[in-house]
Each structure stands twice: as C-alpha cells, then as structure tokens.
Amino acid sequence: MRFRRIGITFAVCTEGGDAERLIPFDPIPRVLAQAEWCNLRRGLEQCACALDAFMHDVYHDCEIIRAGRVTERLVLHNSQFRPEMCGMDLPGRMYGRICGIDRVRVGPDDYYVPEDDCRPPPPPASTTCWRTAR
C-alpha cells in the first residue's frame, strides 16, 4: 500500500510483531455538532500553544531541562534541534508552523491525545509564511 511505502505508519511499542502499522484513516468525513467542535477546538488550540511554549523555552531559557522534566540529550542532541534558532523571537511566539494533534474519542465528550507533533520553521535565512491565527 502507498502509505506503507511512503512511511505513513505508527508503532505500538508495547506489542510484539510488526512494529509498523498503517494509520487507520476513515474515508468518511466526521460531522460534528458546533458545541462538540468548539470543545475540541479549545483543546487543539491549547495543545498548539503548549507546543509553542515548549519550543520557545527550548530555544531560550531551557527551564524545562534545568527542572529535569526533559533531558538535555533528548532535546539539544536531537537531530531536529536547530541551534541557529537559539535566542530567536518569532512573531506571536509561534514556533510550530504545522501541528499535527491526534485525538481518539474515548467517551461521548472525552478525547485522548496519543500523540502530537510540531514542525519548527526552517533556519532564519529562508522566507516563511507564518501561522497568524489560532
């Protein structure tokens, strides 16, 4: 299948066997009531803001590392860490121009977020269209 070939998979680390599984996309769009969407939207915006706050801290004060919540090796020695971004203030402190936030419905009004992902902007020398609204 094309998804497996281009790497759109996920892993369940606690299970044996084939570590890479195809993401179960639903070809039928989900229709949500306005109240349900408003609730989901608040949560998704909160996740995006938390990711931006984390990235701002990583590229500025590194308080999360000093507090021992995340190891220096995990952040500063990560292949995605961009030292050229250190000390750079971005408009609106929006460091993630693309955020992918998975959600799984576990009850009528309850969702879990098994994974979230944020793509930082490229190094400062390039031109970028910044996310301007939440």
In the chain, the number of structural domains is 1
pLDDT band, residue 129 (cuts 50/70/90) = very low
- Is residue 2, in this structure, part of any structural domain at all? no
- Is residue 11, in this structure, part of any structural domain at all? no
pTM of the model: 0.64
- Is residue 22, in this structure, part of any structural domain at all? no
Coil, strand or helix at 42 = helix
Report the alpha-carbon angle 21-105-115, nearest 5.
50
Phi, psi of 99 (to 5 degrees): -120, 130
- Is residue 24, in this structure, part of any structural domain at all? no
Give the domain extent around 65. 34-134
- Is residue 43, in this structure, part of any structural domain at all? yes
Instruction: Read off the pLDDT of residues 1-49 as tens digits, 9 standing for 90 and up.
Output: 676 676 666 666 555 555 666 666 666 777 888 988 888 888 888 888 8
The structure tokens listed for 102 are: 């998975």
